[in-house]
Amino acid sequence: MDNLIMLKAAGYRIDFDFQPHPNIEEGLQGKLRLVTTCDFEPREMETEVFLLLIDDFLRLGAYLEDHITKLQVRQDDQEYSESHLFLDDSLAYEIRALNGWVGSDMQGGFSIEVLVKVGFDLSMKKAVYAGIKTDVDASEVTRFVRHIREMFSNYHRK
């Protein structure tokens, strides 16, 4: 693949590895890969190659930024702040931003769940997902979102 955008999390790296789609101007083709970064032997889970719409990428960035804002404005007496599930258009992955704490100086972070579609069970006629739950720093999420926006700064929605 030609381009890589990664989000570093505790014990994992979440890689979006893609290239322009040959037939769809507003689309990319690529894989989402979960890679362990712990001290033991690296392991990976990845999707098959799928269509990733640029709008989905930009929506993911907005989803993560909105979650950080929710955590920043959350009152101390609120026990939990969880965002709705983020699904891309192709259903190749899903992400849920969970509870955490983020200060106005972007210190802190939150938990995140990432599931990737690893196959299809033919006997049950169901997609099969596998994934992780880990923690991510708010500053790393901000870097990730900035990278998405820089990469697609020339893209204009139709």
Judge if pTM exceeds 0.85: yes
**Alpha-carbon span 116 to 118, nearest angstrom:** 6
Q: What pLDDT, on the 0 to 100 scale, is given for residue 129?
A: 93
Average pLDDT over residues 15-44: 88
Where does the pLDDT of residue 6 fall: very low under 50, low under 70, confident under 90, or very high at 90 and above? Answer: very high
User: Quick check: is 157 in a domain?
Assistant: no
Residue 133 inside a domain? The answer is: yes
Question: Can you give the pLDDT at residue 51?
Answer: 92
Q: How many CA atoms lie within 13 A of 22 on its CB side?
A: 1
In a domain, 156, yes or no: no
Q: CATH code at 119? A: 3.30.2450
pLDDT of residue 76: 59
For the segment 99-153, what is each residue's pLDDT rounded down to a tens digit? 998 988 889 999 999 999 999 999 999 999 999 999 999 999 999 999 999 998 8
Measured between alpha carbons, how far apart are the two ends of the chain, in Å?
26
Distance CA 95, CA 23 (A): 27
Say what the pLDDT of residue 131 is: 93
Residue 68 Cα distances to 83, 138, 143, angstroms:
10, 7, 13
92 contacts 116 by C-beta, under 8 angstroms = yes
Q: pLDDT for 43-100, tens place per residue?
A: 888 899 999 999 999 999 999 999 999 888 875 556 567 788 999 989 999 999 999 9
Q: Tell me, what amino acid is at 134? A: T
Q: How far is CA 37 from the centre of its chain?
A: 17
Q: How many domains does the chain have?
A: 1
| 45 alpha-carbon distance from chain centroid | 14
Task: Assign 148 to helix, strand or coil.
Answer: helix
Question: 19: domain range?
Answer: 3-151
